[in-house]
């Protein structure tokens, strides 16, 4: 059974900012390196060994994400795969706005939710809106706000007050549609509810350690500030996005599994929480949480697009077990705009295959499959954020 979602616009629920001049300035020959997971980590993580850059680059031609992008983009740019890198660079450089907005139109992308915490300094999202030709919604990451508040203050109470003021100010901005935390990269997802004394003591340990981040220093303080974030998010009706699962190699891997989130999701069960990356690679745990907690949502980036062949399995699992109006498409593009494009195109195709197979096996009707497809690609994320 063929399900056709080519007319379904895509809203990408998780991506990052980019700027035309920086894209043009990147070495053209490294383009495919920068779109593999390993290559992207060389741009985002602090714990990588630069001496391994050549070894990482040597794997690019053997990595499906790069192989497929080379072929698909060459078709799109009407050149041979061998000529892709110079052709892509010339096209981008000649008119970045025309090239990038053309990619968005070709993939039928209509809006992006952009996490403003990477890269830093922040990308001007209104400029990005002109560059892409589509709507950019701001997701305000809390960790840079915490860092700014820490630098301006000298006590836990003052830090919290300054942080709260930053949250309130972000919430006043109409373009800011959600808050985001990467606490998995700081102290882990097992967020508790520490007492005032524990928070004060944590601040002092963190300070005494020269602001070295760790579960033995800043954890209680960070846990408390995430609880504060949820309170403000409730007041202003903004969903909270939580990075769940692994990411680049800076993550606190031992406490990144989504099952760690149980206490937090229980404490704020009445507030929409989006599990960014659906706990990658611990999909089963994230599926379990979203199938039980009514307001826990799943966002599929990392499986999309880097899972490639695995995207079908991921969709089969979550569509099978989770209410389908809680599943959000996302790409986690964090380096090159072509990632938005290939992820949208391959993600839509995977969804068509999985829904088509479900109809063939009589798990749903064609009409139901089409509604689910539109919901996952765009309508769910818009509805959850009050944008429908």
Spell out a b/e string for 69-82, using b for 16 or more CB atoms within 10 Å of the CB, else e. Answer: bbebbbebeebeee
Instruction: Note whether 385 and 31 are within 8 A (CB).
Output: no
How far is residue 204's CA from residue 196's CA, in Å, rounded to a whole number?
A: 13
Residues 6+ apart with CB under 8 A from 290: 275, 278, 296, 297, 298, 318, 322, 323, 326, 327
Of 332 and 336, nearer to Zn ion (C-beta) is 332
Of 117 and 188, nearer to Zn ion (C-beta) is 117
In whole angstroms, the minimum distance from the beta carbon of 226 to Zn ion comes to 18
In whole angstroms, the minimum distance from the beta carbon of 182 to Zn ion comes to 8
What does DSSP assign to residue 377?
I
In whole angstroms, the minimum distance from the beta carbon of 96 to Zn ion comes to 22
Of 12 and 332, nearer to Zn ion (C-beta) is 332
In the complex, the residues that contact Zn ion under the rule CB under 5 A are 332
In whole angstroms, the minimum distance from the beta carbon of 61 to Zn ion comes to 25
Largest CA distance in the chain: 65
Of 333 and 352, nearer to Zn ion (C-beta) is 333
In whole angstroms, the minimum distance from the beta carbon of 17 to Zn ion comes to 11
Of 179 and 206, nearer to Zn ion (C-beta) is 179
How far is residue 175's CA from residue 128's CA, in Å, rounded to a whole number?
A: 13
Tokens of 337: 């705009």
Q: What is the torsion angle, in degrees rounded to the nearest 10, for the CA atoms of residue 43, residue 61, residue 244 and residue 235? A: 60
Between helix 338-360 and helix 366-374 the angle, nearest 10°, is 160
For the chain, percent helix, then strand, then coil, each to nearest 5? 60, 10, 30
Of 332 and 338, nearer to Zn ion (C-beta) is 332
Residue nearest to Zn ion (CB): 332
In whole angstroms, the minimum distance from the beta carbon of 279 to Zn ion comes to 14
Of 220 and 252, nearer to Zn ion (C-beta) is 252
In whole angstroms, the minimum distance from the beta carbon of 318 to Zn ion comes to 19
Between helix 338-360 and helix 64-77 the angle, nearest 10°, is 100
């Amino acid at each position: 059974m063929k399900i056709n979602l080519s007319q379904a616009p895509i809203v990408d629920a998780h991506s990052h900012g980019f700027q035309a001049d920086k894209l043009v300035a990147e070495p053209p020959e490294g383009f495919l390196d920068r779109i593999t997971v390993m290559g992207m980590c060389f741009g985002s993580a602090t714990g990588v060994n630069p001496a391994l850059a050549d070894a990482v680059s040597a794997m690019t031609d053997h990595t499906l994400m790069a192989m497929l992008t080379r072929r698909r983009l060459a078709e799109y740019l009407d050149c041979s795969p061998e000529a892709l890198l110079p052709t892509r660079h010339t096209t981008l450089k000649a008119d970045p706005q025309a090239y990038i907005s053309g990619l968005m139109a070709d993939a039928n992308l209509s809006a992006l939710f952009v996490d403003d915490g990477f890269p830093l300094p922040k990308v001007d999202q209104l400029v990005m809106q002109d560059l892409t030709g589509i709507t950019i919604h701001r997701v305000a990451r809390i960790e840079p706000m915490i860092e700014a508040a820490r630098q301006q203050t000298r006590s836990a109470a003052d830090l919290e007050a300054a942080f709260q003021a930053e949250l309130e100010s972000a919430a006043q901005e109409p373009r800011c549609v959600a808050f985001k935390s990467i606490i998995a990269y700081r102290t882990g997802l097992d967020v508790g509810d520490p007492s005032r004394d524990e928070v004060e003591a944590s601040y002092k340990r963190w300070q005494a350690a020269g602001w070295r981040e760790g579960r033995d220093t800043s954890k209680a303080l960070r846990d408390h500030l995430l609880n504060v974030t949820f309170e403000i998010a409730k007041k202003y009706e903004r969903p909270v996005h939580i990075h769940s699962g692994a990411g680049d190699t800076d993550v606190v891997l031992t406490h990144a599994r989504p099952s760690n989130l149980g206490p937090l999701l229980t404490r704020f069960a009445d507030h929409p929480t989006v599990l960014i990356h659906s706990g990658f690679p611990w999909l089963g745990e994230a599926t379990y949480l979203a199938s039980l907690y009514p307001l826990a949502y799943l966002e599929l980036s990392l499986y999309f697009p880097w899972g490639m062949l695995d995207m079908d399995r991921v969709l089969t699992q979550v569509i099978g077990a989770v209410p389908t109006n809680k599943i959000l498409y996302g790409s986690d593009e964090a380096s090159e705009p072509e990632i938005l494009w290939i992820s949208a195109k391959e993600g839509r195709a995977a969804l068509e295959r999985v829904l088509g197979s479900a109809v063939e096996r009589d798990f749903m009707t064609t009409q139901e499959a089409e509604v689910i497809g539109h919901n996952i690609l765009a309508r769910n994320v818009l509805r959850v954020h009050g944008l429908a």
